[in-house]
C-alpha cells in the first residue's frame, strides 16, 4: 500500500492538533501544581458547606489560590503552611461542618519547587539527547535519530498543549506525575519509531529500491503489530481514565494522550518526514 502518498495529509493532521496546543501554551501556559510553584495543598473531607462559604471563612486569614470542590471533598491550594496552620484550617472549617477531616497535606517551598522544575526539564533533555545518540549509533545514520527526536518533540508538544488546554478550561494541574507521563511518552514514541526504522534498515540491506518504496513496505509490514500493541495499552488506559480514582485520573489521561500520539507519530510523522527529507535532498 502506498501509505506515503498521503504524507502531506498526515502533516496537516499533525498541525491541526499541534497549533491549538501551541497557541494555548503561548496564551495560557500550563497550570503548575504546588510541586513546581511552591505552596500547600490540602485535601479535606467536607460535605455540606458551599465553596463561597469556605472562601468567606478562610480568605481574611489565608491566601487561597484555588478551591476545587466535589460531593465529599475540597482541595485547597494556598501559600506555604505549617502543619499547625493546616490543622487550624480544619478546625475553622468544623464551624461549617463538624465532620470536616484532613485527608492529605502537602507543602513545598518556592525554592524546592524551582529545583523540581529544573530537574524535570533536565531529565527530559537528557532522555531526548540519549535517544538521539543511541539511534544515531544503532543505525549509523544521524538522520534517523534526528527524525525520531522530531517525532518525540511532536508527541511532547501535543501532550503539553493538551494539558495547557485542559488546565485552562478544566483546571488540570501539571505536577510531577505529568513529567513522568512525558518521559513515558518519549519512551513509547521512540520504541514504535525504532520498529519501523529498523524494518527500513533491514530492507535496505536486501534490495536497492528507493527509500520511498522501502518505507511504504516497512509501514505495511509493521503497522498491524504496532496497532495491536498500542490498542491493548490504549484500552487499558481508557478503562483507568473512566473508572479509576481521581488520584490517578489526570496521570492516566496524560498517558492516554501520549500513547495515542506516540502510535500516530511513529508511522505518520517520523517516516513521512524521513522520506520527504530524502526527496528534497536528492533534488
Chain segment 190-231, per-residue pLDDT in tens:
888 888 888 888 888 888 788 899 999 999 998 888 888 889
Query: Which pLDDT belongs to residue 111?
Result: 57
Query: If DSSP codes are grouped into helix, strand and coil, which group holds residue 76?
Result: strand
Other CB atoms within 10 A of residue 83 CB? 11
What band does 260 get if pLDDT is binned at 50, 70 and 90?
A: very high
Instruction: Find the range with the poorest average confidence among 93-102, 103-112, 160-169.
Output: 103-112
**Measured CA distances, 71 to 50, 63, 104, 203 (Å):** 10, 24, 17, 59
As a whole-number percent, the residues of the chain with pLDDT over 70 amount to 95
Instruction: Find the range with the poorest average confidence among 66-80, 143-157, 194-208, 244-258.
Output: 66-80
Closest-CA residue to 247 (of 104, 120, 79): 104
CB 191 within 8 A of CB 265: no
pLDDT(163) > 60: yes
pLDDT(176) > 80: no
Average pLDDT across the chain, whole number = 84
Spatial CB neighbours of 10, under 8 Å, sequence gap ≥ 6: 268, 269, 272
Give the integer Cα–Cα distance in Å for 230 and 258: 11
Neighbour-count burial of 14, counting CB atoms closer than 10 A to its CB (0-12 exposed, 13-18 middle, 19+ buried): buried
Residue of higher predicted confidence among 167 and 66: 167
The torsion of the CA quartet 241, 119, 40, 105, rounded to 10 degrees, works out to 60
Query: Which pLDDT belongs to residue 109?
Result: 65
Query: Which pLDDT belongs to residue 138?
Result: 77
Give the integer Cα–Cα distance in Å for 75 and 127: 33
Strongest mean pLDDT among 7-16, 124-133, 201-210, 244-253? 7-16
Give the integer Cα–Cα distance in Å for 94 and 88: 10
Query: Which pLDDT belongs to residue 219?
Result: 92
Residue of higher predicted confidence among 245 and 256: 256
What band does 58 get if pLDDT is binned at 50, 70 and 90?
A: confident
Question: What are the start-end ranges of the H helices in 106-210?
Answer: 110-139, 142-170, 176-206
Query: Which pLDDT belongs to residue 158?
Result: 93
Spatial CB neighbours of 218, under 8 Å, sequence gap ≥ 6: 196, 199, 200, 203, 271
Give the mean model confidence (pLDDT) for residues 160-169.
Answer: 90
What band does 113 get if pLDDT is binned at 50, 70 and 90?
A: low
What band does 85 get if pLDDT is binned at 50, 70 and 90?
A: confident
Give the integer Cα–Cα distance in Å for 265 and 197: 13
Which structural domains are found in the chain, ordered by start?
4-32+112-282 (1.20.1640.10), 39-108 (3.30.70.260)
Give the integer Cα–Cα distance in Å for 269 and 152: 10
Amino acid at each position: 500500500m502506498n501509505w506515503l502518498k498521503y504524507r502531506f495529509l498526515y502533516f496537516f493532521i499533525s498541525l491541526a492538533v499541534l497549533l491549538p496546543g501551541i497557541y494555548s501554551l503561548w496564551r495560557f501556559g500550563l497550570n503548575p501544581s504546588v510541586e513546581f510553584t511552591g505552596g500547600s495543598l490540602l485535601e479535606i473531607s467536607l460535605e455540606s458547606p458551599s465553596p463561597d462559604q469556605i472562601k468567606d471563612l478562610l480568605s481574611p486569614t489565608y491566601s487561597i489560590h484555588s478551591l476545587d470542590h466535589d460531593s465529599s471533598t475540597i482541595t485547597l491550594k494556598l501559600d506555604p503552611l505549617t502543619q499547625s496552620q493546616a490543622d487550624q484550617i480544619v478546625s475553622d472549617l468544623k464551624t461549617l461542618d463538624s465532620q470536616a477531616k484532613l485527608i492529605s497535606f502537602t507543602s513545598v517551598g518556592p525554592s524546592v519547587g524551582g529545583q523540581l522544575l529544573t530537574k524535570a526539564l533536565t531529565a527530559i533533555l537528557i532522555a531526548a539527547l540519549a535517544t538521539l545518540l543511541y539511534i544515531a549509533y544503532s543505525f549509523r545514520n544521524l538522520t534517523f535519530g534526528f527524525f525520531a527526536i522530531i517525532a518525540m518533540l511532536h508527541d511532547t508538544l501535543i501532550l503539553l498543549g493538551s494539558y495547557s488546554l485542559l488546565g485552562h478550561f478544566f483546571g488540570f494541574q501539571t505536577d510531577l506525575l505529568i513529567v513522568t507521563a512525558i518521559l513515558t511518552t518519549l519512551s513509547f514514541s521512540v520504541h514504535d519509531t525504532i520498529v519501523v526504522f529498523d524494518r527500513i534498515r533491514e530492507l535496505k540491506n536486501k534490495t536497492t529500491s528507493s527509500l520511498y518504496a522501502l518505507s511504504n513496505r516497512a509501514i505495511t509490514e509493521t503497522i498491524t503489530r504496532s496497532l495491536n500493541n498500542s490498542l491493548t495499552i490504549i484500552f487499558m488506559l481508557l478503562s483507568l481514565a473512566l473508572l479509576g480514582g481521581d488520584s490517578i485520573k489526570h496521570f492516566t489521561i496524560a498517558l492516554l494522550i501520549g500513547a495515542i500520539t506516540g502510535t500516530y507519530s511513529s508511522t505518520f510523522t517520523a517516516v513521512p518526514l524521513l522520506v520527504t527529507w530524502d526527496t528534497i535532498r536528492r533534488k
